[in-house]
Amino acid sequence: VSGGSLDPAMFATIARLGVPYVLMHLRGTPQTMTSMANYENVTLDVIAELSEKVAQLRALGVKDLILDPGFGFAKTPAHNDQLLRDLPAFRVFELPLLVGLSRKSSIWRRLGLSPDEALNGTTVLNTVALLGGASLLRVHDVKEAVEAVKLTRYLIPDT
């Protein structure tokens, strides 16, 4: 979840091993990220910060990358909303996009539910993410997510 920022040897190790890597956006550490949620424009800032890391990884020869905008990591609920609305902007990378919205507090708090009761909200936002260009979903409820993917792809085959 660190985007390579917590271990200076991470990117070199990935390159040496030749393994795929999920590059997630995160500012700070899990302990400090809440105080780092300051953006001029969250979408443009996340894209710029991911671009720098993609360039570093490419320079090391890493080929298999998956991007994750890092929903909930150094992001406010309003930032998460904006990123979800702007998800098509991440197509500029021409890389697979992973989205992790499952049971996020921005879902269950808004609905007045517990995290375990947020399945419907999660499914709705997963569908929005698929329509916006997500190619992978990080989920807790696999069966329901698979159904959302199948129905979305059935109705709109290019998703």
**How many domains is the chain built from?**
2
Question: Which range marks the domain in which residue 135 is found?
Answer: 102-159
CA–CA gap between residue 39 and residue 45 (Å, rounded): 7
Catalytic residue status for 138 = yes
pTM: 0.91
Catalytic residue among 138, 143, 150, 153: 138
Q: Is the pLDDT at 64 greater than 90, yes or no? A: yes
Q: Is the pLDDT at 1 greater than 80, yes or no? A: no
- Looking at the structure, tell me whether residues 12 and 71 fall in a common domain: yes
- Looking at the structure, tell me whether residues 52 and 87 fall in a common domain: yes
Contacts (Cβ under 8 Å, ≥6 apart) of 59: none
Decide: helix, strand or coil at residue 67: strand
As a whole number, the mean pLDDT across the chain is 94
Catalytic residue among 53, 75, 103, 104: 104
Q: Between 1 and 119, where is the model more confident?
A: 119
CA–CA gap between residue 24 and residue 133 (Å, rounded): 16
- Looking at the structure, tell me whether residues 92 and 123 fall in a common domain: no
Q: What pLDDT, on a 0 to 100 scale, did the predictor assign at position 29?
A: 75
Q: Where are the alpha helices (DSSP H) in the chain?
A: 10-17, 42-59, 77-85, 105-111, 119-132, 142-155
